[in-house]
Every structure is written in structure tokens, then in C-alpha cells.
Structure 1
Amino acid sequence: MNVLVYTGPEVLTASLSHTLSTFCSLLLPNYTVQAVTKQSLADHPWSTACALLVFPSCRAVLSSAKAVHAVKSYVEDGGAYLGLSSGASLRGSRTGLEGSSDLGHQALRFEDKTAGVTIYPMFRSKDDASEWKPLQQGGNVYHDGWSEFSGVEEVGSTKILSRYADSEVAGVVCHTQNGGKAAFWSPSLEYPVTADIGSSLTSEEIKAAEQVRMTLLRDTLRELGLHLPEDKPPSCPLPQFLIAPTSRADIIPRVLSAIGVDMGSGSATLVDTNDTFAFHPFSAGLDQLREARVRSLEHTGEPDEANWQPKHVIVCTPTERPSSEHTPLFDVGKYFAALQRARAQEGLGADAAPEGEWGMGEALLYAEVVTSTQTMLDKNPRLLSNLPAPLLSLASRQLTGRGRGNNVWLSPLGSLPISLLIRPSLKEVPAQKLVFVQYLFSLAVTEACRDPAVLGQQYGAAVRIKWPNDVYAVVGGENRKIGGILVNTSFGSGKVEVVIGSGLNVMNARPTLSLAQLLPPESAANLSMEATTATILAKFDAMWRTFVEHGGSFEPFMDLYLERWLHSDQLVTVTSVSPPQNVRICGITPEHGLLRTIPERRAGGGMGVEYIDLQPDGNSFDLMQGLIKTKTY
């Protein structure tokens, strides 16, 4: 889910900047925090994935009638709104203030029809110099300029959040009849309390004021229905373990040799474009792990990316392997045992791989915290071009997880972010067939979820595919995203490096939906990150072998894919053609993996049927709105 911060021309630049940084620190990794423009509010279907809409300090009221209508509808349909450095006017027969003639009929407003009151956001009314004001409950709050409340009292569902020491209202929240909520704070809670704005305060008062600010914001976010991270998020990457099954002692030496790392004299360094990697023998690497944990625990404030280099790698051997103390969130031994079972189930025994090769998931890079599994592979060309394939990069948490385009991929605790490097020959899999890789991996995920080692058929049947690269769960008639696939390719020398990035919510707590929440409580305890990872890798390995044997044809999987996706015979509107056209989805083209649709006027088929075929990389499918539109980044 997204927390959207309004960035229109009415917004003060400093307030916007502080709002974005403050809310990132409060809400990541449970929510993405993104900017939203006036045009997007007016014209785009933003509300379906929005957990909260935030307005920083504004010079004037929102002037777009379409945007006003969209925001009002969003809140009154159950959404949440927060105005910072914002006052409000409460109107209605029970407040003594009637009508809205002085505010304008197009003004943004939220109605509590049960109580017969309407609340209007009131934006910056004074540009006075900044000041500090004490609150009744203690502590001081900062004002950059001034916004006021008018007629606000606890009427119906309206609740006073805080008052100043002089009894004037400082913050308020109101509810609409459909579960919507709108909160307003007159003080500038988006501004972190520093010596710059707190020059009149002592150092102790500055510290206390910052604690008050963060407490008020956290309490308000909970009042608005958001689920805040309960633990202190990691602030820096932790070393990765380079490891393989004990039965494959040859894998790690071959990986090191291929990338030119000589461990003969102890630690070694590989410098690449995006990252520098420091490889350590096992015992020295554990020292690096302990030091990194201490740094992460002692760090306060925003994460400092300047201290994220080098990326440390601990080289394991068949006799030197991490214990649960070293990897408390992922049991490597349990994973390899599950992988062996899953591979055997798929007919991929010890002799399945050609001589000198290994199966998917057997060469593993694992860390509890990384920047991004995808970035560390596809943004480091020296490493990428020399690493033997297949190789799996896996983490329990990401600091800068990547989604499609410029999207951020959240990686809260319990999610499964992986990146798998494969290197097919273009003679075996022609370049035009690589579009099917994302379809094939999403199919492997859905089939893994139906496996008894993960959810089983009864509960796994809820997991479906949303074209082109998302994994959804159907819960109570709702389609909710639980995963996504990102594929990056790099061509050269008759081969192609393919990095398949996948994020899947396995054991996340709310607000995100996860596989664990699809199970009854008594069964959820049997779900594990290790078995889920192993089952996905084994399913994909088996599918990939069939895919290669058939020259990159998706035909062996087409029927199953169409059973698992959400779109058969779905009526949608294609906005990437002119004029927009209603079409019915009928499948995937077997040659190039395009989404095949038929204009609705000819949905009956017959002679002269004209198809509209859509590329997965150029179009975005808004499932909730039934729209296919040109993808923008």
C-alpha cells in the first residue's frame, strides 16, 4: 500500500521535503511513501492502493475541481487524509456555523452525515515568523507560519487530538459514515526538531520536543488506521554468506575462481561499477558480521548510504557454515534440505544437472539485510558477466528494494526477496522468447503455493497471476497483491544474462497481505521461508528445463497459465489506443507473449476479427479499474 504526499504548486517546498523524509522514517517498510501531483489526483486511479493521502503545508486551497472531487470521494469511501500545518473549519447546525458560502462551493470538504457536520481543511492563513507553542499535555510544538481551527468541537465522530496550553485546538480527527478518516494538525509536525528551528530551546528541550512530535505523529497514524513498524528498522547491510550444499564442495571454489577472487592470502576485494565486494574467510567474516550488527544497533537517524561500502561476503565451506545465531531469520541448513526434497519431487535428483553444473538455488548468496538483491547483480557488470549460473541471491530484508521502473519494492520482515541469475544460450532460447521468463516464474510461484510444503491445494488455490508480472491472492472476493516479478536482461557473446527478481509476501504481518494470512492459525505455524524458497526454485528449475527443451516455446505451459491468471474473458478498457476501446481478453500470443484482446463489438469472433495485442513492458494493467494504459516511469 502507498502513502501519497501531495506535491502540487500550493505546497511549500520545505514542508514537502520534511514530510517525505519524516513519513519514510515512520512508515517504511510497511508502506511506500510517494509523491503525487495535482494532475495525478485528478486523472489517475490512485485511490485503490492508497492507505493515506497527506497534504503538507499549503499556501492556498486545492484549486482543481476534479482533484477536489477525487480526494473527497476517496475519504468518504473509506480512505484516510492528513493535513499538516493545516487548520479546519467545522460547519453544521450543531456547531453554530452553517453553510459554506464563504469557503466556496468547490472547496475540499469531508462530511459526517450521521452527525450533520462538514469539516473543511483550512490552509496557511498567516505567514508570520515561526514560533513555539506549549501543549496542555506538556511539551512544545513548532509552527512555520500559522493555520487555525474554527468551530471545532467534539461533535459526532469528531475527536480533539490535542489542545494548546491556552485551550485552543491543536489537532483534530473526524470520521465519515463509510469508515473514512480525516485528521488535521495546526503545528508543523513534519519539521524535525533541530538546533536550527529550536534556537530558543535548550538541548534537552529540543530532544523532548522531537519526542513529542514523533509521538503525536505515530498516534495520529494509528488513529487513521495505519500499522506502524514495531521494531527499529535496520540501518545498514549485513554481510552475505556465499554457501552451497555440503554435498557440492566444488561450487564455491568455482564461483570464486570465475569472478577472479583468490582467497589464498585471506580476504580479497572485487571492485565493480555499483559496489565493492570484500570476500572473507569464514571466521574473519563472522567478525565483520558482529561489527555490522553493532553499528546497525547503535545507529540513530536516517541510514547513511556512504557507509554501505564495501559489501562483505563470508565464504563458507562444507565444514564452516552459519548457525541460527548467525542467520536467525533463515536457516540455511533447513533450506538446503528442503531444496533437495523439492528437487527430488520434481524429478531433479542429484544426476539431473549436466556434469559440472548445479541446480537452481544450490549456489546461494544470503544475508539478513542487503541493499537490493537485484541491484547487486544487475548493476555490477563485472560480477554479473563472470558469475557462474544459476546463482541465487536471497535476503530477509532489503534497504532499497526495486520494483518495476522506478517503483520501490517494500521488503518488510516476512517477505521473500530473491534474485536468480540464469544464463541461457540464445541458440536454445531466442531473444524474442525471453518475454516468457516473467510468465514462467510467476507460474512457478503459483504452483509452489499449491504444493503441500507451502500452502497446499486448498489454500494455495487463492494465489493467482495478474498480467504481466504480479502475483495476487483472491481473498473474500477481493484481489490483493502479494508479489511481483522483475526481469532484467544483458546480452553479449551469444548468451544473455537474465536476472529474475521476485518479491513475495510469505509471513508478513499486516497491513500487507501474506501467504501466512491465507492459512488458518493452526496451520500457519507450519509455513516456512526455507520451504517456500526451495519449492519455488525447484518448480521453476523443472519448468525452465522444459522451456529450453522446446526452444523457448510457452505452449507446454499455456493452458496452465490461463487457468492461473485472473483475466480470462475479462472486459477492460484500453486507453493506450485512440480512441480508448473496450476489449475482451482472450489470451497470450504464443510467438511474442503479447496480451491478446478482441474489441468488444466483435467479441463473438468469426471472419474479420481484429485483435489488439499489447506488450507487457509498455503497458500497465490496472486490475481494479479495468484499464490498460501506457506505462509511465
Structure 2
Amino acid sequence: MNVLVYSGPEVLQSSLSRSIAVLRSTLSYVENGGAFLGLRAGATVGTSLFNVIDPSDYSLRFQDQKSGNTVYCKFFPGGEDSCRSVNIEAVQGGATASLLESGAVEFDGIETAQNAQVIARIMEDRKVVAASLQTSSGRVAFWGVHFETAVTTENTSLSADDCKIAEEKRQEVVRDTLRKLGLTLPSLNESGPSYALPQLLTSAPSRPEIVVQILNALNVQPPASFKDVNDTFNFHVASEAEELMQQCRFQQTDNLRHIVAFTDGSMPSRGLTPLFDIGQYYSDLADATSRAGCPMTSSSWGAGEAFMYGEVVTSTQTLLDKNPRFLSSLPSPLLSLATHQIAGRGRGGNSWVSPVGCLQFSLRLRVALSTIPPARLVFVQYLFALAVVEACRDDGVLGSLGDKIRLKWPNDIYIVGDDENEKATKVAGILVYTTFDGNDVDIVIGCGVNVLNPPPIASLASLIPSGVDRKLSMERTAAIIMAKFQSMWTTFLAHKGSFDPFMDLYLGRWLHSDSYKYDTPSPGGGYAGSQGFIDLQPDGNTFDLMSGLIMMKAR
């Protein structure tokens, strides 16, 4: 069974009304037996006679013909900056949990309505904070707090031990809600740890000096610690890896970020990385960079050749951009990759969920502002998105089957359908964080690509027809993405951050390219065509489409 999940909007009022208009089309899905989960959402229950509602309330309306009730759903804005921790109590079983709240959410009429059930209350004032209801044929549930956000020491003041207990309780609350919506959940022993495991710092066998250079830049010689604003990093020598990993798999020992440094080109054993073959990744990277024609230099290394892997991390992005001293001290480029993230981040403060089969990583770059003017840094996200699309189309990944992989401005990658009536589905997303440091800029590119996710999640694997002998791997996909980006990045730097060398390719990979032709360069640097005008603007992060094409949120 599938569940439609919608999180309370963090968008402008004009965009919000359009988003809700799209969501109203999902009502038939619920009425025909589907399930709906609203996050940062409240509910009001009335009779079916009360059927006039102001569209400015941004409400969805679910009807239960059996009871005569109408359930009005309202989403409440609120970002992570305004969050505070609140204690909630589940009505059934009395389980308690500490969750994040970003403002009051209203529930009205739930407690007296037929086919309605209160899931949880705030312990302090006993206000309803979550409820589930039966509609005519489907089920709906609403949570007014951020029950989807993992409890970590990064977003609460709890100790590491208390965080572990709070996170276990939160996960049980999530599971209980999903069961109420009719889902059958995997057993707990099928999932990994709910806390971070040690990360392994390695380098390409052809560049054994890289790890030592990184340690020297950080001024640490393992065993040693590096304290920063958000985290303290404990560095270990390779000989400690087996025992440390065994201890951490058994229980969370402390709140430190453990990093094991493998110097002189040595590699972790496969027992340390059962879900990702680092040796195979480097072999695939060498092959991909050779095919991409990436230049080899003795003074610097390429994207992906300095590699930090963690089976479970809080967020590859947060570990870098929330620790400014650590970030600014690291040499560039550095790839941080994880099999599981427990607090991944998306665009606009959204959470990035990382189910099994999702390739998620962050790439740290540092470049002089004399090489790329500040106004052109916005092009980095377009460039990396293009590199991901080209990697998907590479013979080492999907080959010609990747023709359906397209760019959706500014930072998403979609699979298009066989015809214009088939809705495009998101398969990857990109988040770029920049911080200025004197005459340089630190760039952290976060990316998540659904590679091997099982249905119903859209993934690269879903494009491979049954019976076709093509096997995808996380290692090879990551390696080819790095090689494609390194080749483009070299050209990008040579042209002082100009996007001109990539514009034709970008337009050819654009989501709407089948419907809109752009073939005439404009005086301002954009492209004019039969349906309008497209212009990538570096100032203000805008994408100007004169015919209003950017308003088309879905095909």
C-alpha cells in the first residue's frame, strides 16, 4: 500500500495556493482507498453540510459518507529556525517522545467525531497534536509537529544517551502512525543503527599521499581530536578500525564523530564496509576518469580521489557546513558519502529521507574568487545537476536507457514518461552551500540519487526493463558522477565560471526540451525559440522564462 505524504509548506503565499490546487487532485486517490499523511497539518471535523471554505485557507477536504463528516486539512508554515522541543504522549499505550515543534497547529472536533482517533497529545497542555481518521474508503492522518525529523544532538540540547532514547521513541511513534494508515512495516532487525558510525578516510591507490595531506591541513596526527562549533572529531589510526567499528555497532559510545584515517593508500577490509566496496569504487573511478579524459596533475587531485565513507551518518552535508573550522581547513576536493543518513537535509530546510538504494553524498570544493566571480557561483548547482544527468546516461550506468533522465530547474532531476500525459517523477536532488573565506569560497554540494530503490520509489533501476542484462551499482554510479563533474569543472574553471560551454547540452537535457525549442542565441546570453525565451541569470539565482514556463510545476 502507498501513502501520499505532504509536509506543511515553507513557501510564498502565491506558490502555496498553486501547491494546494495540485494536492486537491489527490482526493480521489484517498476516496478510492488510498492513505494520506499530512505533516505540519491540523484538522477540523464538521458535517458534510459545511462544504464552503475560503481557498485562502489552503485546505484539503476529505469526506466520510458513512458518518457524514467532512475533514478539513490545513497546513501551517514553520521552519527549522523556529523549532523547539516538546514532549508528546501517545494516547494508546502511553508512550512518550520528545519531538520538534515550530508553532501551534489547530485540531478541532476530532475528539467527538465518528471514525476519528487522537494519536497523541502534548503532555504540557494536553492539546491534540496528531490524529487519524477513516474516510469513505481511505485513511488520513495528521501530525502538527515534526515527527519526521530525527532527534539528534544537533537539533536538541539532549545528551547523546538521551538522544538515543528519544530517537527510539520517535521511531516507534512514526511506526504506529504508519500502521494506522494500513502499512505493513519491516521488522526492526532489518534496519541499521539509528546513530552515526565511524567514517573511513581513504584515498585513491594512485594518490597515497592524499590522506596525510588532509591530516596535515587539519593539524592532527591520529590519535587526536579536532573540536569545532557543532561537532568534535576523533581521529584514529587504521589499526583501531576493527575494534572501534565493533564497539559502535553494538552501542553508541559517545557523541564524538569518529574518523579512521587510512594512510599510504591502504584500504579498509570489506568487513568494515559491507554495504559499499571502497576498492571497487576506486577501480571504477580510475576507469571513468580515464574515459572522461580528466587530466592528471601532481599538485592536486580530482573529485572523488579523497573519499570519506560512513555506513551511517547524521548528514553528509551537516558534517561539513555546520563545522566551519573543519570545513575551511580541509583540502579540496573531498567526497563524503554515506549508505544511510538519519538526518539528511534537502532544499529550503526540508528533510531528505534516505531509504535503502539511495546514493547520498556531499562534495567539498574550494576555489579562489579570482577564478570564479561571486555572481557566477549560482551556476555550480546547474553544472553538478548536468554532470549527474550525463553520468546516468553513461554506458557504465544506464546507457541509452538514461535518455529519460532530465533536468528540472534549479536543482532536481526527473524521469520523464513515454508520452506527455505520463507524469515525470523525481529521481535526484541537489543542494549547494557556499561560504566566503577571504579571497576564497568554500562550496559544499549535497546530492541524493535514487539508484537501487525498490518500487514504488522512482529510481534509476526502475528504467531497466525486465529481462535486460544491465546491473547498476552504487560504487560505479558514484564514480562516474565524480568523473563527469571533474571534466566539466575543469572546463568551468578555465572559462572563469561561464556557463556558455554547457548551455546547449543543458537545454538538450532540460525537462521541457521536447516541447520547447531554443536555437537562437540572444544578445543577453540566453536562447530564444518558438515558445519563448530562456535566460540563466547569475545575479539573484533566477531563471527567467518570458512565457511563464517555470510556473508549470508538473507535466
> 1:239-289: CA deviations, max 9, x gaps?
0000012222211111100110123xxx11011111110000112133221
Q: Deviations over 1:391-431 (max 9, x none)?
A: 11111111111112211111122111111112222222222
SS in 1 for 2:448: strand
Deviations 1:73-128 (A, max 9, x none): 77458863479999989xxxxxxxxx955x6776986458xxx85741589xxxxx
Q: How far 1:3 sits from its partner (Å)?
A: 8.0
Partners of 2:507 and 2:198 lie apart in 1 by: 41
CA positional deviation for 1:492: 2.5
Partner of residue 120 from structure 1, selected from 66, 69, 73 = 69
TM-score relative to the length of structure 1: 0.63
TM-superposition CA deviations, 1:367-409 (whole Å, max 9, x none)? 1011111111122121111211111111111111111221111
Residues 427-452 of structure 1: CA distance to partner in whole angstroms, max 9, x if unpaired? Answer: 22222221111111000000000111
Q: CA deviation at 1:295?
A: 1.0
CA distance in structure 1 between the partners assigned to 2:172 and 2:216 by the alignment: 55
CA-CA distance at 1:364 after TM superposition: 0.5
**Of 537, 545, 553, which residue of structure 2 is paired with 1:597?**
545
Number of the residue aligned with 1:7? none
Q: Please, which runs of 5 or more residues in structure 1 have no aligned partner?
A: 5-30, 51-68, 90-98, 124-131, 153-159, 161-169, 191-209, 297-306, 572-582, 601-611, 613-620, 627-633
Match of 2:493 in 1: 548
Shift of 1:213: 8.8
1:275 is aligned to: 231
* Alignment counterpart, residue 439 of structure 1, candidates 377, 382, 403: 382
Letter in 2 for 1:514: S
Q: What residue is the counterpart of 1:328 in the other structure?
A: 274
2:364 corresponds to 1:421? yes
Match of 2:206, SS state, is coil
Q: Secondary structure at the match of 2:328?
A: helix
- The residue number in structure 2 matching 1:356 is 299
Letter of the structure 2 residue corresponding to residue 245 of structure 1: A
CA distance in 1, matches of 2:469, 2:537: 38
Once the two structures are TM-superposed, the CA of residue 237 in structure 1 deviates from its matched residue by 0.4
CA positional deviation for 1:309: 2.4
Q: Residues 120-269 of structure 1 correspond to what in structure 2 (within 5 A)?
A: 120-121=69-70, 147=111, 173-175=134-136, 181-183=138-140, 217-222=177-182, 231-263=190-222, 267-269=223-225
Rg comparison, structure with higher value:
1
Tell me if the contact between 2:6 and 2:37 (Cα under 8 Å) persists in the aligned partners: no
Q: Does 1:382 align with 2:325?
A: yes
Q: How many residues align?
A: 463
**What one-letter code is carried by the residue in structure 2 that aligns with 1:465?**
L
**TM-score relative to the length of structure 2:** 0.71
The aligned amino acid for 1:394 is L
Alpha-carbon contact 2:48-2:68 (below 8 Å) kept: no
Q: 1:567 to 1:437 in 2, by over 3 A?
A: same
- Partner of 2:139, secondary structure, is strand
CA distance in 2, matches of 1:42, 1:500: 27
SS at match of 1:490: strand
**Cα distance change on mapping 1:133 and 1:428 into 2, 3 Å:** closer
Deviation, 1:355, is 2.2
2:553 alignment counterpart: 624
Change (3 A) 1:141 1:436: closer
1:36/1:358 Cα in 2 relative to 1: closer, same or farther (>3 Å)? closer
Distance 2:110 2:361 in 1: 48
Aligned pair in 2 of structure 1 residues 363, 141: CA closer, same or farther (>3 Å)? closer
The answer for the alignment partner of 1:461 in structure 2 is 403
Answer yes or no: is the 8 Å Cα contact 1:275–1:380 preserved in 2: yes
User: Residues 106 and 268 from structure 1, CA distance in 2 versus in 1: closer, same or farther, beyond 3 angstroms?
Assistant: closer
SS of corresponding position for 1:437: helix
Partner in structure 1 of residue 250 of structure 2: 294
Does residue 473 of the first structure (1) align with residue 402 of the second (2)?
A: no
Tell me the equivalent position of 2:255: 309
Q: Which runs of 5+ in 2 are unaligned?
A: 55-59, 73-89, 97-108, 118-130, 148-169, 518-529
Paired AA for residue 271 in structure 1: K
- Residue 341 of structure 1 is matched in structure 2 by 287
Using the TM superposition, give the Cα deviation of residue 551 of structure 1 relative to its aligned residue in structure 2, in angstroms. 1.9
Shift of the alpha carbon at 1:513? Answer: 1.2
Distance of aligned partners of 1:100 and 1:362 in 2 relative to their CA distance in 1, 3 Å threshold: closer
Deviations along 1:502-523, whole A, 9 cap, x unmatched? 1111112234211111112445
Partner of 1:80: 35
2: CA distance between counterparts of 1:222 and 1:434? 46
2:503 alignment counterpart: 558
Return closer, same or farther for 1:567/1:321 CA change in 2, 3 Å cut-off: same
The one-letter code matched in structure 1 to 2:417 is: V
Q: Which residue of 2 aligns with 1:58?
A: none
For 1:73 and 1:548, locate their aligned partners in 2 and report how far apart those are by CA, in whole Å.
51
Identify the match of residue 372 of structure 1 among 275, 291, 315.
Answer: 315
Whole-angstrom distance in 1 between the partners of 2:217 and 2:241: 21
In structure 2, what residue type is equivalent to 1:120?
N
AA aligned opposite 1:335: Y
Q: Is the counterpart of residue 515 in structure 1 residue 460 in structure 2?
A: yes
Counterpart Cα distance in 1 of 2:226 and 2:67? 63
> Contact 2:198–2:260 at 8 Å: present in 1 too?
yes
Whole-angstrom distance in 1 between the partners of 2:354 and 2:175: 25
**One-letter amino acid matched to 1:504:** V
1:44 CA displacement? 4.8
Distance, in Å, in 2 between the alignment partners of 1:467 and 1:251 is 35
Secondary structure at 1:45's aligned position in 2?
A: helix
Contact 2:345 2:352 survives alignment (8 Å): yes
**Residue identity matched to 1:287:** E
- Overall identity of the aligned pairs, in %: 41
| Matched-pair contact (CA < 8 Å) for 1:262–1:268 | yes
Q: Deviations over 1:193-243 (max 9, x none)?
A: xxxxxxxxxxxxxxxxx99998864443235xx877873353110100000
Q: In structure 2, what is the equivalent of residue 485 of structure 1? A: 430
How far 1:624 moved relative to its partner? 3.3
Question: Structure 2 vs 1, CA of residues 270 and 325 (structure 1 numbering), >3 Å: closer, same or farther?
Answer: same
When residues 121 and 295 of structure 1 are mapped into structure 2, their CA distance, relative to the original with a 3 A threshold, is farther
User: Take 2:273 and 2:372, find their aligned partners in 1: how far apart are those partners?
Assistant: 37
SS of 2:233's equivalent in the other structure is strand
Task: Sort the Cα spacing of 1:171 and 1:534 in 2 relative to 1 into closer, same or farther, 3 A.
Answer: closer
> Per the alignment, in what secondary structure is the counterpart of residue 485 of structure 1?
strand
1:8-23 → structure 2 map (5 Å cutoff):
none
In the alignment, is the contact (CA less than 8 A) between 2:199 and 2:309 conserved in 1? yes
In 2, the alpha carbon distance for the partners of 1:469 and 1:213 equals: 32
- What is the letter of the counterpart of residue 432 of structure 2? V
Deviation at 1:535, TM superposition (A): 0.2
Contact 2:208 2:265 in 1 (8 A): no
Q: What letter is aligned with 1:451?
A: D
